[in-house]
Structure 1
Amino acid sequence: MKVIQAFWLAILGLWANKFRVLSAMMGIVIGLFAVMVLISIAVGAKDMLMRQMGNLGAEQILVMPGRVLDDANGQKDLLSGLTSVPSTLTYEDAEAVRAVPGVERVVPQLETVANIDYGDTRVQGMIVGTTTGYAEVQHAAVAEGSFFAEEDQGKNVVVLGRNVHDGLLGITQQDGGGGEAAPGGEDKPWWQKWLSGLTAEASEPMLVGKTIMIGETEYSVAGVLEPNATLGSSTDNTVVMPIETALANTDMTYLNKMIVEADSLDVIDQVDGAVFSAIAAQHSEIDFSVVKQEQMLGAVGKVTTVLQVMLAGITATALLISGMGILNVMVMSVRERTREIGIRKALGATTFEILLQFFFETLLLCLVGGAIGIACGYAFIELWNANVTIFALSLPMWAVQLGLGVTAVIGGIFGVYPALKAARMKPSKALRFE
């Protein structure tokens, strides 16, 4: 019963000093808010990276220019980066890899930047020369028309990314994605741009079947891709064409990368070695790397582990500072309520009851502040996810439980000293306190 009574007295004590309690609580609120947002950013970024790396299935292998050095255990150390050498990978290398037993599919990629023209409108985009497997590897769905077929190799056909397509029509302008705006559209008010966008969309909603210019060459638009604006692997700003067309019509010679898919996981190790040997046989030196999906995921895991350790340090520092602030506030509260403590002791309150009351006050202050901070963090995450598309924030339940648990521990630790200070007061001195 004494514990319950002390708990209710703690609630009444906090309610009687609302403004001081709110000011003391702000430290915990801000600390927990920051912790929740930082954890959600870390988890969201990790999930995004894992999904993007997961675009390559477990049975897929990435071949890229440059050497990935091995660590002391003989494993590829992707965190050390690639050696800086120009690409010497060729389409012939891709054809050699395609002949390796156990290889299901090879998706080579050539990349360059070029101006794309449609009528009087010009945008800049990434030109990608590849094969039909590109759409599946990039998880790129076609919104209108179709992706080019294997028999279209050598033909002047392209598939447009969403930003490039809309930029050519003057529908939308994406910073860093669609290039230049349509002539005369830079200084228009927002409502004129909106109206012109509606007009463009109504009169010419898609460029499928139309002809665009890349350099001095005409290309027929076979399809338009769905938007898939993900950090680092978006197709929104690309113009995809058959690789043989790209080799014939552009100055691209060497591959930026190729993705190799094995028949199954059972043969992935054998295919990995055979792919390396097939390419090495055509090169005078080893100036490329063959990396399995599990090795790339391992590198991402190391990075996210470092990030989580950093966040743990930031969390501990923020909550420690918040706890020190609450300790100071509660010590001042004990001093201001010295006469109250003296009167209660004179009326028969025990040292244990006084100790419990002030201990519960500190604990409740921390827990309520922590709950408010978590609620504010959750509201921020929901607001972010509703308005920002680059990547989604994710707040795992363990973070909420950890936040409340840590605030309870802080309340317990920093509540002991003011509680003991109040409980040890002698009634005679407390009653004479001015």
Structure 2
Amino acid sequence: MKLFTAFKLACFGLWSNKFRVMSAMMGIVIGMFAVIVLISIAVGVKDTLLKQMGSLGAEQILVMPGRILDSANGQKDFLSGMTSVPSTLTYDDAKAAESVPNVKSVTPQLETVSTAAYGEQNVQAILVGSTDQYSRIQHAGLSEGRFFTGEEQDAKANVVVLGSNIHDALLGKTAGRNSGNGGTPVVEEKPWWKRALDSFMTGTVVSAAETTLIGKTLKIGDIDYTVIGVLEPNATLGSSTDNNVIMPIETALANTDMNYLNKMIVEASSTDVIDEVDGAVFSAIKQNHNEIDFSVVKQDQMLGAIDNVTTILQVMLLGITATALFISGTGIMNVMIMSVRERTREIGIRKAIGASTFEIMAQFFYETLLLCLIGGLFGIGLGCAFIELWNSSIDAFTLVLPAWAIKLALGSTLVIGGLFGIYPALKAARMKPSRALRFE
């Protein structure tokens, strides 16, 4: 009964000092907001990276330039064990890997930055040379048209498939605001009258009615290419194809100065032979190189490396949130100490009419606990609102709020209220009634 009475008095005490309570709560609101948002960022980035690497498939192996050394536990050390050297991987290496038993497919990729031109529109793009397996391996769907075939690849056909941003920009749409996906521009269409004026002044075929480049001819460098397909938008963290122009690798080798591969993806016939294929691919490529200046990495090794990186990120964010919460708790304790000082006469009167030391201590302890709990709930609510706003507006990666994060935030709130509420409560409870009543 005494505890319930102390709880009611704590509620009345907070209500009678609303402005002080609101200012004191700001610290804990910001702290809880930081806990929710930073945890959701860490989990969201980790999930996005794991999904992207996991999309390779358990039967796929990545071959990349540079040496990635093994750490003490046998995992690939992508942080400190990766050497930065120019690529020496060639199309011949890809063919050597393709001849390895139990290899289902090999998808090599050449990449460079070039300019695509259509009429008066000039757009910088990532020029990618690859095989007809590119769309399947990259999970890049087509919004219209088709992807080039193996026959077109062998014939060195001058055909290209455009990323969605490149396609829109070449149609006379102007870059507008960022979509949030790592700076990839969202394009906004010019007004019809401006497109018509541009067409009249330049004599190009870009008209107000033109909505696709399928079947049209664009120029990359001094060579004309026919557009046969447009990829669906798929802006994701670090692996967007929206700004890509993809052509057959044989065409890229013949028409550009690209000679060395940025990477190749080797697909084994099944997961049962993945270790065997891993070693055989390494040996096959090694025969074409004087030194080992490349790495062959299985999916589980990449996932382990990503897990290590995201663990470091989570520990760093945990340190930031712990610091924020400690500062918030210290601020609340100082506010409650000031409250005890301002209410010294109230404490003296209550003790004089029979209130026990325990009741006084419980009242001020409850006040601190309630203040932290209310501020924590507000902070959690703001954090959830921020996550919803982010996920509805930004496509770079999705913020993920696990249930344990909310439990951790609420638990942290109660722990802070308990730890930082003890001292003000004891200070109030230990006051002598005679001195408290004489306090001015």
Alignment correspondent of 1:268: 274
* CA 55–250 in structure 1, closer or farther in 2 if over 3 Å, else same: same
Q: Tell whether the 8 Å contact from 1:276 to 1:290 is kept in structure 2 after alignment.
A: yes
TM-score, normalised by the number of residues in structure 2: 0.92
Cα distance, 1:177 vs structure 2: 5.4
**2:213 pairs with one of 207, 210, 213:** 207
Partner Cα distance (1:220, 1:19) in 2: 69
Cα distance, 1:82 vs structure 2: 3.1
Q: Tell whether the 8 Å contact from 1:385 to 1:393 is kept in structure 2 after alignment.
A: yes
* CA 327–196 in structure 1, closer or farther in 2 if over 3 Å, else same: farther
Partner Cα distance (2:9, 2:348) in 1: 15
Partner Cα distance (1:225, 1:265) in 2: 29
Alignment correspondent of 1:133: 133
Cα distance, 1:395 vs structure 2: 1.6
Q: Tell whether the 8 Å contact from 1:111 to 1:129 is kept in structure 2 after alignment.
A: yes
**2:427 pairs with one of 410, 421, 424:** 421
Alignment correspondent of 2:325: 319
**1:167 pairs with one of 166, 169, 188:** 169
Cα distance, 1:132 vs structure 2: 1.5
Q: Tell whether the 8 Å contact from 1:171 to 1:201 is kept in structure 2 after alignment.
A: no
Instruction: Report the AA paired with residue 173 of structure 2.
Output: I
Cα distance, 1:344 vs structure 2: 1.3
* CA 356–197 in structure 1, closer or farther in 2 if over 3 Å, else same: farther
**2:300 pairs with one of 274, 294, 302:** 294
Cα distance, 1:325 vs structure 2: 0.7
Partner Cα distance (2:126, 2:221) in 1: 13
Alignment correspondent of 2:202: none
For residues 20-46 of structure 1, give each alpha carbon's deviation from its aligned partner in whole angstroms, at most 9, with x where no partner exists.
111111111111112222112111111
Instruction: Report the AA paired with residue 204 of structure 1.
Output: E
SS at match of 2:435: helix
* CA 357–92 in structure 1, closer or farther in 2 if over 3 Å, else same: same
Alignment correspondent of 2:199: none
Aligned length: 424
TM-score, normalised by the number of residues in structure 1: 0.93
Instruction: Report the AA paired with residue 365 of structure 1.
Output: L
Q: Tell whether the 8 Å contact from 1:171 to 1:197 is kept in structure 2 after alignment.
A: no
Q: Tell whether the 8 Å contact from 2:172 to 2:190 is kept in structure 1 after alignment.
A: no
Q: Tell whether the 8 Å contact from 2:76 to 2:302 is kept in structure 1 after alignment.
A: no
Partner Cα distance (1:346, 1:71) in 2: 70
SS at match of 1:394: coil
For residues 242-299 of structure 1, give each alpha carbon's deviation from its aligned partner in whole angstroms, at most 9, with x where no partner exists.
1111111111111111000111111111110000011112222211110111111111
Partner Cα distance (1:321, 1:74) in 2: 41
Partner Cα distance (1:422, 1:401) in 2: 31
* CA 283–109 in structure 1, closer or farther in 2 if over 3 Å, else same: same
Instruction: Report the AA paired with residue 49 of structure 2.
Output: L
Alignment correspondent of 2:64: 64
Match status 1:7 vs 2:10: no
Greater CA deviation, 362-371 or 40-49? 40-49
Partner Cα distance (1:273, 1:164) in 2: 39
Alignment correspondent of 2:287: 281
Alignment correspondent of 1:80: 80
Cα distance, 1:362 vs structure 2: 0.3
Instruction: Report the AA paired with residue 439 of structure 2.
Output: F
Alignment correspondent of 2:52: 52
SS at match of 2:55: coil
Partner Cα distance (2:258, 2:272) in 1: 36
Cα distance, 1:202 vs structure 2: 5.2
Alignment correspondent of 2:201: none
Alignment correspondent of 1:387: 393
**1:248 pairs with one of 245, 254, 258:** 254
Match status 1:32 vs 2:32: yes
CA RMSD of aligned residues (A): 2.0
SS at match of 1:166: helix
Partner Cα distance (1:352, 1:366) in 2: 21
Q: Tell whether the 8 Å contact from 2:58 to 2:271 is kept in structure 1 after alignment.
A: yes
Partner Cα distance (1:25, 1:120) in 2: 58
Alignment correspondent of 2:229: 223
Unaligned runs of 5+ in 2: 197-205
Cα distance, 1:231 vs structure 2: 2.2
Q: Tell whether the 8 Å contact from 1:124 to 1:178 is kept in structure 2 after alignment.
A: no
Q: Tell whether the 8 Å contact from 1:62 to 1:290 is kept in structure 2 after alignment.
A: yes
SS at match of 1:291: strand
Q: Share of identical aligned residues, percent?
A: 69
Alignment correspondent of 1:431: 437
SS at match of 2:228: strand
Match status 1:403 vs 2:403: no
For residues 19-72 of structure 1, give each alpha carbon's deviation from its aligned partner in whole angstroms, at most 9, with x where no partner exists.
111111111111111222211211111112112212211211000111112223
Partner Cα distance (1:195, 1:10) in 2: 66
* CA 17–65 in structure 1, closer or farther in 2 if over 3 Å, else same: same
Alignment correspondent of 1:158: 160
Alignment correspondent of 1:149: 149
Partner Cα distance (2:51, 2:174) in 1: 28
Q: Tell whether the 8 Å contact from 2:75 to 2:305 is kept in structure 1 after alignment.
A: no
